[in-house]
Amino acid sequence: VRLVESGGGLVQAGGSLRLSCAASGSTFSFNTMGWYCQAPGKQRELVAAITSGGGRINYADSVKGRFTISRDNAKKTIYLQMNSLKPEDTAVYYCFYSDSRYAYWGQGTQVTVSS
């Protein structure tokens, strides 16, 4: 499974960005995809995750009400709409895919929020 991320960049505080992650290769119908982020000197932490049926969605407390995760199963793509961005959201955002076999990671996309 290969994951290709896009949509990162530099934005002012209060602004918005939309990240995308497209999966290709041998994917299972039932899977979980989502985003982790890692800021300099910190551990990688979960931002949001969504199951393939969309029935289960999880968000980190720090992004609830500001970020929205969604997916298009036909395109094997997930999205992270990030609104009301804060400087503390600055990090490298990594897409992940997991199923009953393995977990896979994207290469990461930088999100920088200036104050």
Which pLDDT band, with edges at 50, 70 and 90, does 29 fall under?
confident
pLDDT 10s digits, 44-86: 999 999 999 878 999 999 999 999 999 999 999 999 999 999 9
Decide if pLDDT at 28 tops 90.
Answer: no
Residue from 34, 37, 50 nearest 86 by CA? 37
Whole-angstrom distance, CA of residue 94 vs CA of residue 1: 15
Q: In this structure, are residues 89 and 111 in contact, taking their beta carbons and an 8 Å threshold?
A: yes
Whole-angstrom distance, CA of residue 106 vs CA of residue 94: 6
**Residue 54 has what pLDDT?**
74
Who contacts 92 (Cβ-Cβ below 8 Å, separation ≥6)?
37, 38, 39, 108, 109, 110, 111
pLDDT 10s digits, 80-102: 999 999 999 999 999 999 998 89
Q: In this structure, are residues 21 and 95 in contact, taking their beta carbons and an 8 Å threshold?
A: yes
